[in-house]
Amino acid sequence: MSLLKPDSCRQCYGACWGMSGYVPADGDGSSGCLMVLEAAGSDEAASGKPTTGKAGHYLWSQLKRVNIEREGWRIHNVLSCQPGPKNLLAKMPYEHSVISSCAPLLDATIADMRERCKQNSKTFVILALGKIAFKRILGISEGSPILKVDTYCYPIWSEQYGAWVLVAPHPSFLMRGNNHLVGILQFAAKRALSGSEYVSGKLWKRARARGVIETTLPLSNRVARGLLSVAIVIAGR
Ligand code: SF4
């Protein structure tokens, strides 16, 4: 049965899509990792749970192939509802307005996760799947230089959220003939889990202290590639 949207949704353009079909965050986040995707689809809107539609099943089946389960993740979408009957968000006239109206819901999940990570001595890692989620988490716009470099799987520090951010392709994109990129999704998810669980963020923190990975600075591909190799060694211990 679909959930009712909170009253705050009445101020949002998305209210015209109906006042039911709300999809709040799901999962206990005990791994220290928050997965952020774009928006709910019709299956999620009906069940009230993120990643339960076709793309969600594809996502978890691909992660299962590398022994990653849903358990332990916290999952939330940039939009906590389904964006209109056609599921369209990117480049739609309402894109920026609904994303900013929905921001307090995702921000509350992020703040809650940061607190849970502190209590459980985890390094807080956000895995953003797809460009919409990546832009939203880093607070960048379409023309940002960081979007012009290969950022898949590289840890980027978010001062705003006190979290390491990794990005990987959205499962819907992979399903549209891009399944050769599944390995990137699997590696990014593994890296998020190992960064939170095993590395305890020390390696990434040292890199941050040297100022090589900040959201406010242009990302150096060369340095990030170096970090990637070191992190693989650490995670493989
Ligand atoms: S986009 Fe977010 S704030 Fe707007 S109606 Fe949907 S759930 Fe509510």
Q: Give the per-residue pLDDT at 22.
A: 97
The tokens describing 45, both together, are 């809107």
- Compute the Cα dihedral for 60, 64, 70, 76 and give only its sign: negative
**CATH number of the structural domain 3-235:** 3.40.470.10
Q: Is residue 89 lining ligand 1, measured as CB closer than 6 Å?
A: no
Q: How far is the CA of 168 from the centre of ligand 1 (A)?
A: 24
pLDDT tens track for 71-105: 999 999 999 999 987 889 999 999 999 999 999 99
Contact 174, 152 (CB under 8 A): no
Cα dihedral 113, 6, 96, 104, rounded to 10, equals -30
Token representation of residue 55: 């793309």
How many residues in the chain?
237
pTM comes to 0.86
- Give one word for 76, left, alpha or beta, with left for phi > 0 and alpha for psi -120 to 50: beta
Ligand 1 near 48 CB (within 6 A): no
Report the candidate in 231, 191, 166 with the shortest Cα–Cα distance to residue 63.
191
Q: Where are the domains of the chain?
A: 3-235
List, for residues 121-172, the tens digit of each pLDDT value.
999 999 999 999 999 999 999 889 888 888 898 899 999 999 999 999 999 9
Residue 155 Cβ < 6 Å to ligand 1: no
- In the prediction, which pLDDT does 21 show? 95
Task: Give residue 193's pLDDT.
Answer: 95
Supply the DSSP string of 126-154, one letter for each residue.
EEEESHHHHHHHHT--TT-GGGGS--BT-
Residue with the smallest CA separation from ligand 1 atom 8 is: 9
Identity of the amino acid at 191: R
Q: How far is the CA of 79 from the centre of ligand 1 (A)?
A: 6
DSSP 85: T
Beta-carbon contacts of 45 under 8 Å, excluding residues fewer than 6 positions away, are 2, 20, 21, 22, 23, 81, 82
For a mutational test of ligand 1's pocket, the pick from 80, 106, 132, i.e. the residue with the most ligand atoms closer than 8 A to its C-beta, is 80
